[in-house]
Structure 1
Amino acid sequence: MSIVNDLIAASAALPRSGRISDERYDQKLKDHITRLRQLLSNNELDHVARDESLLDQFNPSKDSITYLFLLQLQIRTLREAASGTFPADLLPLGKLWSKSAHYLEVFNPVQVRYAGHEWRQLIELLVQAAQADSKPLLAARLVKGAMLRLDPSCAVFTSTHLLLVQLCLTAKAYTCALPVLEKLIYHIPILPTRSPFRSLQSLCAEYESSIAFVNDTTGLSSTPSSGDYLQYFLYGGMIFMALKKWDEALNYLGTAISTPTKGAISMIAVEAYKKFILVGLLDKGKLCSLPNPTSTQVVKTLQSLVKPYLDLAKAFEQGNKIRLEAEVDAAQGIWSADKNTGLVFQVVNAFSKHSLVKIKKVVASLTVAELTASASPFQGSLSEISESQIASLIMAGDLDATLVHSQPHSSSSILRFRAGSSPLLFRENEVHANLQTQGKLMEGLFGSMEQANHRLGLSDEFIDNTVNRQQWPPAGGMKSEIGGVTGLEMEEDIMGDLS
Structure 2
Amino acid sequence: MESVGAVVAHIQGLSGSFDEVAHLHSLLKQSEDYLTSQGPRLALFLEQLDPAKHSLGYLFLLDACSSGQISREQAHGFLLSVVDFINCCSVEQIRLAPDKFISVCKRFKDQVMDLQVPIQGVAPLRTAVRKLQSSSEHLTTLHSDFLLLCILAKCYKTGLSILEEDIFEVDHPKDLFLYCYYGGMINIGLKRLGKALEYLQNAVTAPMTSLNSIAVEAYKKYILVSLIHNGQVPSFPKYTSVTAQRNLKTYTQLYIDLASCYAAGKFSELEMFIQTNLEKFQNDSNLGLAKQVLASLYKRNIQRLTQTYLTLSLQDIANTVQLKTAKEAEMHVLQMIQDGEIHATINQKDGMVSFHEDPEQYKTCDMIEHIDTSIQRLMTLSRKLRSIDEHISCDPAYLTKVGKERPKFDFDEFDPVPHKFL
Q: TM-score range by the shorter chain?
A: 0.7 to 0.9
Instruction: Write the letter of the residue equivalent to 1:402.
Output: T
Question: Is residue 459 from structure 1 mapped to residue 364 from structure 2 by the alignment?
Answer: no
Moved more, 459-468 or 303-312: 459-468
Q: 1:449 aligns with which of 380, 386, 405?
A: 386
Gaps of 5+ in 1: 15-24, 190-223, 469-499
Worse-superposed segment, 429-438 or 328-337 = 429-438
* Pairs within 5 Å for 1:192-271: 224=172, 226-263=173-210, 265-271=211-217
Of residues 102, 107, 110, the one that matches 2:92 is 110
Q: Match of 1:395?
A: 338
The alpha carbon displacement at 1:282 in A equals 0.7
Task: State the 1:280 CA deviation.
Answer: 0.6
Which structure is richer in relative contact order (CA contacts within 8 A, separation 6 or more)?
1
**What secondary structure does 1:315 align onto?**
helix
Note if 1:287 corresponds to 2:223: no
| Letter in structure 1 aligned against 2:193 | W
Q: 1:30 aligns with which of 22, 47, 54?
A: 22
Equivalent position of 2:272 in the other structure: 326
How far is the alpha carbon of 1:342 from its aligned partner?
1.0
Question: Shift in Å at residue 278 of structure 1?
Answer: 1.1
Q: Quick check: 1:50 aligned with 2:44?
A: yes
Tell whether 2:72 aligns with 1:84: no
Contact 1:68 1:118 in 2 (8 A): no
8 Å contact 1:254–1:290 — kept in the other structure?
no
User: CA deviation digits over 1:303-356, x for unaligned, max 9?
Assistant: 344343233323333432233223323333332332221111101111122222
Seen in structure 2, the aligned counterparts of structure 1 residues 422 and 145 have a Cα distance that, compared at 3 Å, is farther
- Correspondence for 2:142: 160
Quote the Cα distance in structure 1 between the aligned partners of 2:146 and 2:307. Answer: 44
* Residue 328 of structure 2 corresponds to residue 343 of structure 1: no
Judged with a 3 Å threshold, the aligned counterparts in structure 2 of structure 1 residues 296 and 330 are, in CA distance, closer, same or farther, namely farther
Name the CA distance, whole Å, in 2 between partners of 1:453 and 1:125: 39
Q: How many angstroms apart in 2 are the aligned matches of 1:7 and 1:434?
A: 55
Given that 1:240 and 1:248 are in contact with CA atoms closer than 8 Å, whether structure 2 keeps it comes out as yes
Q: Do the aligned partners of residues 381 and 303 (structure 1) sit closer, same or farther apart at CA in structure 2, a change above 3 Å counting?
A: farther
Counterpart amino acid of residue 418 in structure 1: H
Cα distance in 2 between the residues matched to 1:422 and 1:324? 34
CA shift in 2, pair 1:141/1:428, >3 Å: farther
Moved more, 144-153 or 295-304: 295-304
Q: CA RMSD in A?
A: 3.7
**Contact persistence 2:315–2:329 (CA under 8 A):** no
Is the contact made by 2:187 and 2:195 (CA closer than 8 Å) also made in structure 1? yes
**Could you tell me which of 357, 380, 389 is aligned with 1:419?**
357
**Structure 2 match to 1:134:** 116
Aligned to 2:418: none
**What are the Cα deviations for residues 45-103 of structure 1, in whole angstroms up to 9, with x where unaligned?**
x9996257523xx361xx2xx234235426745x69xx833364642xx4x53343133
Distance 1:125 1:295 in 2: 34
Offset of 1:250 from its aligned partner? Answer: 1.4
Equivalent-residue separation in structure 1 for 2:363 and 2:352 (angstroms): 25
Name the % identity: 22
Moved more, 348-357 or 28-37: 28-37
Does structure 1 conserve the Cα–Cα contact (< 8 Å) formed by 2:59 and 2:100? no
Going from structure 1 to structure 2, the CA distance change for 1:120 and 1:380 (only over 3 Å counts) comes to closer
1:11 aligns with: 15
211, 225, 248: which one pairs with 1:302? 248
The question of whether the paired residues in 2 share the 8 Å contact of 1:230 and 1:256 is answered with yes
5+ residue gaps, structure 2: 405-422
Aligned partner of 2:411 in structure 1 is none
Which SS does the other structure have where 2:353 is aligned? strand
1:129 positional shift: 2.7
Contact preservation (8 Å) 2:132, 2:140: no
Deviation at 1:228, TM superposition (A): 5.0
> How many aligned residue pairs are there?
394
> 2:346, 2:352 within 8 Å by CA — same for their partners in 1?
yes
Amino acid at match of 1:70: Y
Query: Residue type matched to 1:175 in 2?
Result: K
Partner SS state of residue 168, structure 2: coil
For residues 167-182 of structure 1, the aligned pairs below 5 Å read 167-182=149-164
DSSP-derived class of the 1:403 partner:
strand
Cα distance in 2, alignment partners of residues 156 and 170 from structure 1: 24
1:486 aligned residue? none
The answer to whether residue 311 in structure 2 is matched with residue 365 in structure 1 is yes
**Equivalent AA in structure 1 for residue 177 of structure 2:** L
- Given residue 414 of structure 1, which amino acid in structure 2 is its aligned partner? M
Q: Are 2:386 and 1:404 aligned? A: no
Q: Is the 8 A contact 1:400 1:422 kept in 2?
A: no
The answer as to 2:130 corresponding to 1:148 is: yes
Change (3 A) 1:434 1:176: farther
Equivalent-residue separation in structure 2 for 1:118 and 1:331 (angstroms): 45
Query: Which deviates more, 342-351 or 437-446?
Result: 437-446
Residue aligned with 2:354, SS: strand
Indicate if the aligned counterparts of 1:254 and 1:291 stay in contact, CA closer than 8 A. Answer: no
Residue 167 of structure 2 corresponds to 185
Match among 358, 364, 386 for residue 329 of structure 2: 386
Deviation, structure 1 residue 147: 0.6
Deviation at 1:166, TM superposition (A): 3.0
Q: Structure 1 CA distance, aligned partners of 2:168 and 2:278?
A: 39
- Native 8 Å contact 1:311 1:327 kept in 2: no
Q: After superposition, what is the alpha-carbon deviation per residue over 1:27-62, rounded to whole angstroms, capped at 9, x for unaligned?
A: 45422423555677787xx9996257523xx361xx
Distance 1:404-1:153 versus aligned 2 partners, 3 A rule: farther
Decide whether aligned partners of structure 1 residues 145 and 307 sit closer, same or farther in structure 2, where only a CA change above 3 A counts: same
Which structure has more helix as a fraction of its residues?
2
Q: CA deviation at 1:281?
A: 0.8
One-letter code aligned to 2:58: L
